[in-house]
Structure 1
């Protein structure tokens, strides 16, 4: 027997849903949180450089001397993520750590910029052109790895070596932590409602060694991610990254490839490391025990020697 709810209950439910949707829309599109008042100590430690392109005014550092390596950080992260990696590689390379559109202190100037795989790959290309690099090795973490992978697939003549660190690229399980940001209205509202504490919890979930996530580490990321335009860009990326595209072109990667993954990755299962290696010609996968999603920060003593040796071959 079909049960009919009283009209007054249905009307009340509809009114409540309408009120909730209106509140979500207000939080998503009308209300803007205030940026965090924080002066980055890391910016005082490094030699920031900027280069102007039609895409963005890129913030980056260039350290060391030798064959070029470009480091691309993950989503909701910036070049601070590579603070241990840069000195490890700089003994034998010129190391470019760059903030991509949506990250850190790079400012997008293209009003029509698309936060999708092609858009981010084009941004990598614009940066390489601007700093005078015809070819370089690329190392990308998480979303930055997906952007780097797509760049290597579509512009293979510009990549010497490729390192993917806990990087999505398979038509496989997605990170559940970012799925909410793909829901229209709800995603924008969730980004605006992200507080420093929630940002900190998310960052800790990417580490096995939680003690490494210090207040300074949290504030160095939160300082810029708290800006409304960065939150908006993060949501656009969550919506725009289609890993069916990277999966379909894995056979187009010609650069020697190393895949590093944390065995304790709580964002993406470590089985995806071998899944990528099986589909990229000549690729090698290394899964590091006791390490989380931010493998290069969580386990630098284990990850960086592998990264350094591979790039020096």
Structure 2
């Protein structure tokens, strides 16, 4: 047998072993992981002097029990986090928004304290719309303003497209998922099932250093300005039973080798929305370009783009005051 064939077989065999290893040696975490996340979320809120109320509500699906934080009075404002996020990640702007609105800060399915969810072959367009609709139905909210981040932006856009009468104004902070097929190459690799499982095993259990490195590369421009409790809370969020598996299944569903899954692109929906839509993006956001946000806005009925300097994909962590004021201005404008 030729040498190159032997080498190829060895490589394929090693990959197969790693895949099997990834399938059979999945880490098992206890409920203490969830308790630790609850504790550090409260500590994170205490860090900036806020005390949002934590609630659960039973819905008609796609998951039964949804967790959310609640603050303030006034018109309802729903905040929906991104793919690897969780509700307490909004902590820097919750108080400012709650001065003018009754805010509902949700954990998406499979994230934070909301029920686990495996995305598999789920139609994300219908799933996101159904999730928001069932939450609003459960709380008897006829309509609301919505702020969506990244994957939460995709959920929000699709909800607005299917149920336009239930959305007042829409804010997309950080580039929304599905705004373009082009996504960072490392995310493409993470979305390939075999590679995903291998990478998980090589990376191992989440650590504060790993969280800081990933944030600095993909999410925030100035990770050094975030408090220590933020990093511990982020690690604890990843350790919640089922959270990592849910996020990985989401990536595998929406990412293809060529980029974002065409079936879940949101451009056409955006172009036909009757609402006023505001894009708030950081100039250091690696997930998409300012030019594409401006292109999307130019094709829409009523859209505005605001750029925050020295901010990345989570601009409210890099520039909380500016992010909050831009959101409020978008909601209060005519």
- TM-score calculated relative to the size of structure 1: 0.89
CA distance in 1, matches of 2:125, 2:321: 31
Does the C-alpha gap of structure 1 residues 109 and 116 become closer, same or farther in structure 2, counting only changes over 3 Å? closer
CA distance in 1, matches of 2:58, 2:124: 21
Answering whether residue 325 of structure 2 is matched by residue 305 of structure 1, we say yes
CA distance in 1, matches of 2:107, 2:330: 23
How many angstroms does 1:298 deviate by? Answer: 1.0
Does the C-alpha gap of structure 1 residues 161 and 153 become closer, same or farther in structure 2, counting only changes over 3 Å? same
Deviations 1:82-104, CA, capped at 9 Å, x for gaps: 11222111122110001011211
Do the aligned residues in 1 keep the contact of 2:149 with 2:172 (CA within 8 Å)?
A: yes
Do the aligned residues in 2 keep the contact of 1:260 with 1:273 (CA within 8 Å)?
A: no
Deviates more, 1:55-64 or 1:167-176: 167-176
Answering whether residue 74 of structure 2 is matched by residue 49 of structure 1, we say no
Alignment-derived partner of residue 277 in structure 2: 257
Aligned partner of 1:284 among 281, 286, 304: 304
Does the C-alpha gap of structure 1 residues 124 and 298 become closer, same or farther in structure 2, counting only changes over 3 Å? same
How many angstroms does 1:81 deviate by? Answer: 1.7
CA distance in 1, matches of 2:211, 2:125: 24
CA distance in 2, matches of 1:260, 1:251: 17
Aligned residues: 307
CA distance in 2, matches of 1:237, 1:226: 17
Does the C-alpha gap of structure 1 residues 112 and 273 become closer, same or farther in structure 2, counting only changes over 3 Å? closer
Do the aligned residues in 1 keep the contact of 2:109 with 2:117 (CA within 8 Å)?
A: no
Aligned partner of 1:223 among 236, 239, 242: 236
- TM-score calculated relative to the size of structure 2: 0.84
Does the C-alpha gap of structure 1 residues 218 and 117 become closer, same or farther in structure 2, counting only changes over 3 Å? farther
Answering whether residue 170 of structure 2 is matched by residue 162 of structure 1, we say yes
CA distance in 2, matches of 1:23, 1:41: 34
CA distance in 2, matches of 1:14, 1:300: 52
SS in 1 for 2:212: helix
SS in 2 for 1:249: helix
Does the C-alpha gap of structure 1 residues 182 and 11 become closer, same or farther in structure 2, counting only changes over 3 Å? same
Answering whether residue 18 of structure 2 is matched by residue 19 of structure 1, we say no
How many angstroms does 1:113 deviate by? Answer: 8.9
Does the C-alpha gap of structure 1 residues 224 and 42 become closer, same or farther in structure 2, counting only changes over 3 Å? closer
Query: Aligned-pair RMSD on alpha carbons?
Result: 2.4
Aligned partner of 1:175 among 164, 168, 184: 184
Do the aligned residues in 2 keep the contact of 1:176 with 1:267 (CA within 8 Å)?
A: no
CA distance in 1, matches of 2:213, 2:298: 33
Does the C-alpha gap of structure 1 residues 131 and 92 become closer, same or farther in structure 2, counting only changes over 3 Å? same
CA distance in 2, matches of 1:109, 1:223: 18
SS in 2 for 1:254: coil
Do the aligned residues in 2 keep the contact of 1:204 with 1:213 (CA within 8 Å)?
A: no
Aligned partner of 2:128 among 100, 120, 131: 120
CA distance in 1, matches of 2:227, 2:305: 30
Deviations 1:215-253, CA, capped at 9 Å, x for gaps: 321221221222452112112211333455312222221
